[in-house]
Structure 1
Amino acid sequence: MNVGVEVVDQRFEFPFQNEHFEKLRGLVFEHTGITLGNEKKQLTYSRYSKRLRALGITDFNDYIDIIRSGDESEIPMFVSAITTNFTSFFRENHHFEFLVEEVARLLKTKQSIRIWSAGCSSGEEPYSMAMSLLHAIPGVETADVRILATDLDTEILAKAARGVYTDERFDGADKQIISPWIKRGRGDNTGLVLMHPAVRKMITYRQLNLLGPWPMKSPFDIIFCRNVVIYFSKDVQKTLFNRFSANQQKGAKLMIGHSENLAGVCDSYRLIGRTIYEKM
């Protein structure tokens, strides 16, 4: 037995040692703020071995050098490979029900309403927002109600902006809400669904790193940041929620994921509903 020599896991097509994992998770944190625990070694290998194959290289050190060099064509692929993009239409539906109530209330006193879907992934969240509002609030399509949808992953954002989904993505969704706002494909497009222009008009998609500069100037009335911060360290969470707070006025609302909470993270909000917070 050779003491101090790491045995390469035979499950790996490419040699992948602890030093590779440590370097990659450091780069992941640098570029995304996501903290990868030790249990994510296999996942990290799985995600980035695909990039090695795509680039035609066989050594993780070479790939790490590419990322460290700041390669503009590979960095987006590096980010896209590790970010998790699981989402669905009307996920945690109580948030969309509250959204409708809040926007209807705000429209009585405000001329413009700004909503932010932070970490929008492939678009199901902002489209669910828009369909809920269009269904429940008469005339909202002519009001100044805008949704900003941002994500770190440019590839998934492009998919969201196209607004095309497979029909089964809408399984379980309330047909009364969705039917007027989707167009089902025919012929070669059978099985595909295109979002209605009125829905798409309400949403602006932009690439944004939540840990980088924010170009937005107007405060947000409502922010959705759901199932995003679970990948961040507590220090990063504190920074992020304090920045959200700085971009909202008193009474503005914040929605987070069902497994997230602000206890010990940010004291600028008070809990008013199930994972629904109000800026104090």
Structure 2
Amino acid sequence: MAFTYFFRDLHTLELICDHAIPDLRSKAELKIWDAGCAMGPEPYTLAMLLRDRMDQLDFEKVKIQATDIDGSDLFDKIILAAEYPREQVQRIPAEIFEKYFIKVEKRDSYQLTAEIRGAVTFQKHDLLTLNNIGKDFGLILCKNVLLHFNEQERINVIRMFDEALTEGGYLAMEQTQKLPAELEHKFEPVVSNARIYRKRRH
């Protein structure tokens, strides 16, 4: 299970909300794939940021599908329950924490609200199988994963993402990963200060 925490790389997540979401929110369903979700803080963080920018009706269209290769029992015990110990949530901004977390009785932990939990579904998935989990995603988020692959594996996985994205859909990667030269013709950069790309329309 990879290490992660709530509101990690907030800069990139906020840029995604600022640039991609206004362009995608008119769709009947806003499909997002978070590939390599670890213990769940990233997709849940994105869900909270989106909820803060959307009314209830718009947010009901958000469907975040989060995947990770991990096979431990943490996947079921922590991620699906969306319950986290105090030390994992204490650095979350107070206004966010108060809106979206509820104290769990008789345990020193906190659970995300049903509205946020309901926007995210999880499944175990190995990116290197190159099997898509679906089609027509408006946004694919893959951060802190690609650096573990070799160059050809990165090319293959990003090509798979391209096939899973709808035309004009967005791909966000970790800051350390450049888009492989072989795939530059498929995407256009959205901003200069983060690895956010938009699939070119044909």
Q: What TM-score bracket applies, with the shorter chain setting the length?
A: 0.7 to 0.9
Contact 2:84 2:110 in 1 (8 A): yes
Distance change >3 Å, CA 141–CA 168, structure 1 → 2: farther
Alpha carbons 2:155, 2:180 under 8 Å: kept: no
Alpha carbon RMSD of aligned pairs, Å? 1.9
Distance 1:265 1:168, change over 3 A: farther
More strand by share: 2
Counting only pairs closer than 5 Å after superposition, residues 167-206 of structure 1 correspond to structure 2 as 167-186=86-105, 188-189=106-107, 191-206=108-123
Matched, 1:103 2:103: no
Q: Which of 1 and 2 has greater Rg?
A: 1
Which protein, 1 or 2, shows the higher relative CO under an 8 Å CA cutoff with sep ≥ 6?
2
1:248 is displaced (CA, Å) by 1.2
| TM-score (norm. length: structure 2) | 0.87
1:278 counterpart (174, 192, 198): 198
Say yes or no: does 1:220 pair with 2:132. no
Gaps of 5+ in 1: 1-83
Aligned residues, how many? 194
Q: C-alpha distance in 1, partners of 2:135/2:2?
A: 28
CA distance in 2, matches of 1:227, 1:137: 27
Q: Distance in 2 between matches of 1:215 and 1:263?
A: 20
Q: State the identity as a percent.
A: 24
Q: Return the alpha-carbon distance in structure 1 between the equivalents of residues 182 and 91 of structure 2.
A: 34
Q: Provide, for residues 70-122 of structure 1, a one-character-per-residue CA deviation record: whole Å limited to 9, x for no partner.
A: xxxxxxxxxxxxxx511111111123213333324422x31111001000010
Q: TM-score, normalised by structure 1?
A: 0.64
Asked if the contact 1:118–1:224 (Cα under 8 Å) also holds between the matched residues in 2, the reply is yes
Please report how far the alpha carbon of residue 215 of structure 1 lies from its aligned counterpart in structure 2 after TM superposition.
5.2
Residues 103, 162 of structure 1: alpha-carbon distance in 2 compared, 3 angstrom cutoff: same
Q: In the alignment, residue 165 of structure 1 is paired with which amino acid? A: Y
CA distances 1:114-133 after superposition (whole Å, capped 9, x unpaired)? 00100001000111011111
